[in-house]
Structure formats: C-alpha cells, structure tokens
Structure 1
Amino acid sequence: MAESEVMLRRVPSRSSWQRVRKARPHLLLSRRGRRRFGVLTRGELRRLRRRLLRAHALGGEWKQGVPAGAHVAVKCKIRARSRPAPRSQPTPSGPPAPSTQLGTCSLLNPRNHSTPLNESEISFQRVSPNVTQPVRDLGSGRVLLMLPPGEGFTFSGICRVTCIYGQLEIYGYIIKQGQPPQDVFSVYTHSYLTINGVPYSQPQKSERGIRREIRALLKPYTKLDDRNWVVRYFPSLGSILILERVQTRFVDFLKTYKCSSYVLLQENIPARVNAEFVALKKIGIRRQKRKQGICLSESGLCALEELISVSFVDGCPVILLCGACDIGKSTFNRILINQLLNSIPAVDYLECDLGQTEFTPPGCISLLNITEPLLGPPYTHPRKPQKMVYFGKMNCHNDYENYIEIVKYVFRDYKREFPLVINTMGWVSDDGMLLLVDLIRVLSPNYVVQLSSGRDKLMPVLTSEFVDLTDGLYTKSKIRRYRGFEIPEFGDNLEFTEEEKESSPVPVFTGHTVLSVYSEFLSSKNEKNRAKYNRIFRDLAVLGYLSQLMLPVPEPLRPLHSLTPYQVPFSAVAVRVTHADVAPTHILYAVNASWVGLCRIVDDMKGYTRGPILLAQNPICDCLGFGICRGIDMDRRVYHILTPLPPEELKTVNCLLVGSISIPHCVFKNQPGPEGTIPYVTTDYNLSLPGASEKIGEREYGNAVPRHKLRQRRK
C-alpha cells in the first residue's frame, strides 16, 4: 500500500484513471465508471482512490457497480486470509453466521450508512502481530494504551490509570469507563501488577457508531492525530486506557528519604531501548515480563470463586486466612477484598498480624471498613481504623493472654453488616499453632482459608474436628471441656462477661469450612533476608503514615522538623512503656524522640497537677493515632507531639503508649538544615540502662553504623 502511494506521487501529470490503472492493473471497473471518471470532483476522486487501495489491501476485487444516483460505486468482495479449516461441528439450520475473523473487515452498505451491523461483524484493523498492546505518547506525562480482550500489561512503577473505553482488571478490581482514575503502585518489593483487558458485552452498534463514540471519549485527552491512530488500530472489544505520572504528597514525601526513595526508582536501562520504553519512562513505569506478575493457582481461583458466591448468598461470612510467613496471605486478602468490592459497597477487615500490618503502622490490632480498592503494597494505602489498639510490639511472645484479650476487645465492635476478612500471623509452629486454634475458637469464622506451599513445613489441616480436639494456649478441647459428660455445646472456655456475651456477634464456635489453597505467589524473601525486608516494610509503613502531615500539592514540601508540634501538658496524659520495664526516673528518656500511640483510656486525668503520670500496667484502650514526641520542655512541663491527628480528636487523648516500634533513622539523618552532631542519634550510650536497646547497630541498610563497627568504637 505504501509502495502504491509512492508510485502515485512520481507521475503527478497523469490522470486519475491512469494512476489507478498503473498502481492496480488487475482491478476491474465497469465501462460506465471509466467513462464518467472525468466528471468526478477532486474530493470524490480522493475518496474513490482510498476505497480502491483499501479494498485491494483486504484482498478485494472490483466486479461491478453502478447504483443509481452515484458517479462510481462498486461492491467489494472480501476474501478472508487462508487458514486451516476448523473441525466439523454440527450447526443449526438457518443462514450462516457472519465471519468473526480478525483479518477481515466488514464495510457498511454505501446506499444506507445508518444500517447497523451485528456485534460479530464489528471489527477494526488489527495491529501488527508483534505489537499486541500499542502504546502512544500523548505528551505532558501521559501515555495511551490499548488492550485487546484477554491481554495483559505487566509493569513496574507508579502511575494513574484512567479507563476511557471498555473494562480493565487490576489486582482483582474491575475499572469501567467513566469511573474515576486509580493510582496503581507496582514496585519491586512485591510482585508486579498486571492491567488486564476484560471482555465485555455491548449493545449492537455499527462500526461508525463505535468510532464516533471513541472519538468523543478521547477528545478531552488527545489530539486529532492520536484519535485517528486509535480508531485505526483499535482491537475488537478492546479497552482504551490512559496512564499518567503520579504526583501526590505520599510519593513526593517518600522520595525525600534515602531509605524509601530507592523503592520507587526503576531498574537500570536495558540494552535494547525502543520507542515504547522511552514513552513509558516519561511517566515513570516500565513494561515487565508477565511471569513476574501475580500468579494465582487453580486452587486459589476456586477458593476465591466460592467465597465470593457465598458472600452473595450469606451476605456476611467471616473468613479467616492462615499460613506460614511470606506465603501470600496479604496478597490473597487484597485480591479477595478487591473482588468483593466489585459487587458490594464495603468489606470489613480485622488485622491480627502485629509485624506486617496492612493499613496501620506496625504493632496494632485493628478493625477497618474498606470501601476503596487496594492497588499496591500495604504502605501505599493507609486507612483510618474503625477501632484500633496499640499492642506496641511486633510479636506477642510471652504476652499471649493480653494478645487474645485485645483481639476480643476489637472484634466486639464488628456489626456484621459486611463480610469480614481476618488476617493472622505467619507463626504457625509450636505455640503459634495453639494460639491460632484459640483465635479460631474466639472469632468463630465460617471459612478458614489455609495457604500452603512446597517450600514450607506442612501444617495440619485446621478442620472443625481438629480444632475441637486440640487444646489451645487458653482454650480447652472438646474432650477436656466435657470430661466425658454429654452436655450441649456452647461457647469456648474463655470467660466472657455478660456484656461480652450480649455484644459479641459470634460468641459460640459452631464449626467452619476449610479451603486449602496451594500458593504460587513469588516472594523475594528467604530465611537470610526476611528480617531485613520486614524491617524495611515497617519503616515504609511509618513513613506512609507520616506523609499525612504534608500539605496538599500546591504547597511546598516541608521537612518534619519545620512543622509546628502540639503542646501536651504532663498533667493531661498518662504514660506507659509497653515493651519493657523502665525505671520511673528514666521514663522521659524513653519517651523523648520516640514513636508514641495516642490513646484514650477510661480514667480522667484532671485531678493531677504534677507529672508525668505513669501507668502500672498496659491498658487495653482505643488508639486514635500516632505521633512523634520530638521534644520535652521540663520548665513548662509539656510534651511536643508531631502528629497528623486533627485537634478535635487530639483533645480526647489522655494516654501515651511507647512501644518497640522505632522511628526510621532516615527521619533523623536526612532532615535538611542541621549540621554537625545530629540530635538523638549517637553511638555513645549506656546499654545497661533499663529499657535501652542497640537500635542503630541493628540497621542493615541506609547510612546506619554496622554492628561490628559499633563494637569496635566502644572498645
């Protein structure tokens, strides 16, 4: 086709008829068409020439045509590409169905352009076989992408996705045209995300109607050349989306710190750079191989299908997920929540994992109501909990009873209005398995999804019979509970008060269904680097929470030490260190420059005039938020607290809890301005003090001092 255009331009003096005959000598025109060629206008000649070349490119032959009222009109006979004949199948009687091959193109009737065609007849010119997902740079940090149905686009980076036409699926969540754009975080710390084109059904529309609709939808985003390109290469029943560069306070805040900026950076430039790589690089993403994306096993797909169907029938099932560390519980939870949000307005979520929390900083047990999709790792979507308790540690070793009591306290607030998804710890051996049995008895789930893989030690199947016959840490088995007497089954052996029995939605364990899922999720963690990765994720979760301190985008980004803190009097709050026994004379040393939980207890602090006020034991109370105690004024007897908590909620805070969750060192070391000795960061301290810990020496990344060098300095 391109060669014919060149040939047409070489001899501009020839007539239109001679040029067409020279380019396509085998095309047959009627005598009437040839005789009336000279009376055509210039525009009609251009349209005729375009139709001739298009017909020949599709394998057409011009036989005849001279409909009344037209200068030259012909009928095009389409020849399909030669393909092997399909297997013979019985077909119902009646006229043959129209062809749906992608190599053919059905034209409208020239005598009646408004005649609609069947959906199977609607198809556009197919893209080259080597380019199934064409990408076009729109400028201003935007890229247009077209996805055929069933095709996927796996990428790394951060972008904002807008569905212009069709339907998309990301992480189990379906985005339809007209819905607001979604920020998608596909970073290398987790498996890469894939944008999939979802087949959809549409009413019968003509080819011209579809083109007109696509042009109208693209007009606010693209230029005329871009719209023509889309219409030319648009696949049948495909989807059109626009990818934009993300500019939010969260992303800008994380990029200012070395311990988190490398998470958002792309890998090195590959040896082969093409136009697509350059276009995607402008918005901060890069195409990746499909095998590096999230992969669900057959058993995982079946479990998801059953849980979603049950949510439609039952309405409010309680689903508990369990399994070893780094086996894919959080990933399965996100896919399940996203798929549930496709059909219901909200999903409740109970977080029982202290070390790797999903929506809050680490060390919390919380209950949340999720209404928006989860399109990234945990630190990219912090949420405000419906109820939260600050445990203060990353595990519950030697404090099991307090852990169980906190879980009961938080679970009591569940109203059974939406399905509940429960996430548990990855500790499933020894006492961890017994603690998991206690959780199943206390929470009484309807479904237990048990994830396993070939690389982990096999754990017993947590059937109802196994839970009935196994002693937990604080609950007894069915045999011990009854001691041989036949009495009706009611409740577990945990002593509920009368108020707990009335308010607890499911106080009786009535059995559950076990769904075994074989995990095929990719994980970069192993026994050697697990502690390092978990520490990085905890720091990212803390930084994600602190990013809420930043003002909206038009305002300049300010460092944390330049923000004005709140002044909290000693007499207004009580203080407690949850993870260690600290002498009362050293309490303020432990609180200063620490991560504190802002809590609300039942006791009133108004009767105290001096301070600080110390609590004798760890309270079970609501945690409203978190902050940094950036200083203590001993003369005025006030704490300086930096927190994103609004003033109306901060007025109700009357307790500060200090746990083992530390502030990321990059917050101290990367603040612009201070020169010389950095405040609160030193290696010259006495480890023999109660509550002291070697925090800096334990860092394995950033600019922290390695442990062996720290020991040499002390010597």
Structure 2
Amino acid sequence: MGRGEMGDGGEAFEEARGKEREWEEAAEAVAYDSCTWPPPVVVVCGPGNCGKSAFSRLLLNTLLERYQTVAYLDTDVGQPEFTPPGFVSLHVIEEPAKDFTMLYLRSPKRCFFFGDVCAHKNPKLLLSCTFGLYDYFLKELYRFNEVDNPLKSAIPLVINTSGWVKGIGLHVLSEILRYVSPTDVVQLRTTIERKNLPTGAFWLNVHEGDSPVNLVEIHGSHNPPPHLLAKKEARMIRDLRLIAYFRQCLPKDFPIFSRDDLVKGFASIQPFQLPLSKIQVIDLHYQFIWLCLCIGFW
C-alpha cells in the first residue's frame, strides 16, 4: 500500500515537473527567439483557473532577464495581477517577482477604472480601456526612432487576458487579438476540451490567410480547483488585494488581519477638517439659467 502511494505520488510529481518544464521552455522560446525584433508583444489566453497569471509572471521574469524592462497590460478585471480588482492597467516592470505565491501591488504607468469584477458587465468598455492602454504603449513605450534613449526605446509587452472565453467573451478576446496583432500568442489548454479556446489563429477571418504570429499551446496548471472553490478563492484574493491597497493609507505598524481591522483603522484616522467659512459655494445651475436668459435661449 505504501509503495503504491509512493508510486502515485512520484508519477504526480513527474507530471507536474513536466508541465513546469513545458512552461519554462515556452517562456524562453518567446523571450530568446533570435528572430524576434522588434521586442515581442505576447498575449496569454485560456479558460479560467488554468494558470494564465502564473505563466504571465514566469514570462515576465524570463523577459526581464533579456530586456531589463517589460510592459504588462492586465485586462483581467476580476483577478488583476498588480492592482485592486476593477481596473484595466498598464505597468512597466523592472524587477522580477521572486515569489509566485505572493500578491504584489504596483503603481501602474496608466490605468482605467472599469468598475466591476465581471468583464461581461460591459464588454465595450473593456475593449475601449484595453485599446486605449495599448495605444498609449505604442506611443510611449514601443518607439524605435530614439534607440539611443533607453527611456524611450522599445520594450516587450505581455498582455494577460481573463478566463471569459466563451460566447461574447470569445468575441472580445478576438477583437483584442485583431487590434493588437501580437507577435506571439500563448494559449493554455486544460484537459476539459469544451472549456478550451479553438486551436490555431481563431481570431482571424478566413480571407485574411495565414498570420505571422507565433502560436504556442501549453498545458494549463495541474489540478485546477472545482468551480465553486475557484469562485471562493477568487473572492478571497480580491479581498486581500483591496486590503493590501487601502493598507497603504495606514501606519506600517498598524495590525491588520481582517476587513474589520481595516475598517477600524480607517475609523481611527482623524478626518481632515476645514472651517465652513473657508468653503465657497457656487450655484452652477442658477448661473446656467441666468446665462440662457441673457442670450435668449429661454
């Protein structure tokens, strides 16, 4: 019995190690492809809870070894990597994430407040935010006419997407891929085929023919959690990110172990006080009516 358990454990370890090597090889292939110039623009996609964020971190670290600076565009409003939930953000990363199990908060280079943790609540707004940040990246961070200026030279970009890949979600992802025209697309696939994205360059129309994009398909993370458990974990991670974000407003030595502690901390902060005599009130509505009467609108 003991030998059987050891054998099963050994096989599971070897399988997990094999997937880890597969991820490392995929990240190195993207980062060190000698033909990749200008620097790569990589989209990481796949169904929910398959390890997209974890692979994106690995890819970030691998790209940093070569380029020293990497841009990261996070379109996953439910579980963003470096911001509180509800944001679409663009980051410029110069230091690798040493511990993949820790939550990191970083100040974005530019971001938009989406206002929800579910992308399907407003797909048009999500696309608008994503396109706006990508345009900003092209204008400010993907320039080739100033190669002597390291602050304005081209840097690679990693785009992390959400796990919403069915129905309208597939259309949204396809729109992002068509707009960005990435050099590389890394697709994570699970053992449950119906949850996966279509294979190949699924976002291209038939008449567009073959695309020069480098398509990489890898296995998703080992043993993804059940649906309900994944939802619970997602809520917990969102709470932790919110706590970590607002924690910055409090003294470093203030103990916080729960949301209640955070609320008590904010309640203990002395509010900013301003004498009423210093407040000037302007009735804009009255001024607007007066202006309309003067110019004859009414």
Tell me which interval the TM-score lies in, with the shorter structure as reference length.
Answer: 0.7 to 0.9
Q: Distance in 2 between matches of 1:380 and 1:611?
A: 45
Matches within 5 A, 1:32-181: none
Change (3 A) 1:564 1:442: farther
Matches within 5 A, 1:180-579: 296-310=19-33, 313-376=36-99, 380-414=103-137, 415-416=141-142, 417-457=154-194, 458-463=196-201, 466-469=202-205, 478=207, 511-523=212-224, 525-552=225-252, 557=255, 559-566=265-272
Q: Secondary structure at the match of 2:42?
A: strand
Retained in 1: the 8 A contact 2:31–2:66?
Answer: no
Q: Greater CA radius of gyration, 1 or 2? A: 1
Higher RCO by CA contacts (8 Å cutoff, separation 6 or greater): 2
Change (3 A) 1:610 1:382: farther
Q: Distance in 2 between matches of 1:520 and 1:404?
A: 27
Change (3 A) 1:371 1:609: same
Change (3 A) 1:312 1:546: farther
Higher helix share: 2
Post-superposition Cα deviations, 1:659-715, rounded to whole Å, max 9, x if no partner, equal: xxxxxxxxxxxxxxxxxxxxxxxxxxxxxxxxxxxxxxxxxxxxxxxxxxxxxxxxx
Post-superposition Cα deviations, 1:420-443, rounded to whole Å, max 9, x if no partner, equal: 000001011122111111010111
Residue 550 of structure 1, CA deviation: 3.1
Q: Distance in 1 between matches of 2:77 and 2:66?
A: 30
Higher strand share: 1
- Listed as ranges, the gaps of 5+ residues in structure 2 are 1-11, 143-153, 257-264, 275-279, 286-298
Q: Distance in 2 between matches of 1:451 and 1:306?
A: 15
Aligned residues: 247
Q: Distance in 1 between matches of 2:169 and 2:241?
A: 25
Residue 519 of structure 1, CA deviation: 2.3
Superposed structure 1 runs of 4+ greater than 6 Å apart: 289-295
Q: Distance in 2 between matches of 1:454 and 1:312?
A: 32
Change (3 A) 1:510 1:452: closer
Q: Distance in 1 between matches of 2:255 and 2:15?
A: 34
Give the RMSD, CA atoms, in angstroms: 3.3
Retained in 2: the 8 A contact 1:379–1:537?
Answer: no
Post-superposition Cα deviations, 1:427-476, rounded to whole Å, max 9, x if no partner, equal: 1112211111101011111100011021352431142xx32227xxxxxx
- Listed as ranges, the gaps of 5+ residues in structure 1 are 1-288, 471-477, 480-488, 490-508, 569-606, 613-715
Residue 521 of structure 1, CA deviation: 3.3
Q: Distance in 2 between matches of 1:533 and 1:426?
A: 15
Retained in 2: the 8 A contact 1:338–1:373?
Answer: yes
2:238 alignment partner AA = R
Q: Distance in 1 between matches of 2:155 and 2:28?
A: 18
Post-superposition Cα deviations, 1:82-135, rounded to whole Å, max 9, x if no partner, equal: xxxxxxxxxxxxxxxxxxxxxxxxxxxxxxxxxxxxxxxxxxxxxxxxxxxxxx
Change (3 A) 1:608 1:306: farther
1:459 alignment partner AA = L
What does residue 609 of structure 1 align with? 282
Q: TM-score, normalising length from structure 2?
A: 0.72
Q: Distance in 1 between matches of 2:169 and 2:65?
A: 34
